[in-house]
Structures are given as structure tokens and as C-alpha cells.
Amino acid sequence: MDKRYEVYLSPQAQTFYDSLGLKEQRKIDFVIDKIEFNHFGGWFKKLSDTNGIWELVVDFRGIFHRLLSFFDTIEPNDPLIIVSHGFKKKTNKTPKKEIERAKNFRNEYFSELNK
């Protein structure tokens, strides 16, 4: 089976990922691999009222690792999922400030592409 999407970690997301332990990283890698092959489960969902922000959630020992992302479909044959940043949270609700941070990153990303 061929990959459907390529997942790209921004520098901020990579810094978050690098700060995690090996077992946490492996669990995130497992979910990213599933997403790249178009297997979206409960771990990857579109956040409502965010105009296209998606959330990848990995539960590791009761702590939710969240990576906020968006789609770049400018090249329809090579769609990307861009991960803006990540954070840990013990509760289910995604903080609005984190959603705004992802929206701002998305706006900057597309602004740079259009230059």
C-alpha cells in the first residue's frame, strides 16, 4: 500500500518530539505511520470551529500528547500534513491558545508559500 500523505514536523513540533522519551516517540511514530497511509482513527480528528486545524492525540500513561496540524493540498498528488507544534495535557479539552497558535503558524506557512 502506498502512502497517501506525508507528515512534516515543523521545527517547534520537532523540538517537542525530541523532548519526549523513546517510548512516547515510538507511540507517536506508530500513529503518524497510520495517518500517512490514510488510516484516521480516534487519534486524528478535525477540531470543530477551527477552520481546518486537526489534532493528533496519543495517550501515554494517562498523559495526552497532542500535536496540532493542518493539511497542505497545494500539490494534489502530494498532500502534506503539517504539524505546527505539540504539547502535553491531562484533560480532554484542547486549549484555545494552542489552537490559535496552530492557526497563526498555518497563516505564516501559507503566507511564505505565496511569496
pLDDT in tens, 71-103: 998 887 788 999 999 999 887 789 999 999 999
**Cell matching residue 16:** 517537542
CATH of domain 6-113: 3.30.2310.20
The domain locations on the chain are: 6-113
pLDDT in tens, 12-67: 999 999 999 999 999 999 999 999 998 888 889 999 999 999 999 999 998 899 99
Distance of CA 50 to the CA centre of its chain: 14
pTM exceeds 0.85, yes or no: yes
Q: Sort strands 80-89 and 6-9 into parallel, antiparallel or unpaired.
A: parallel
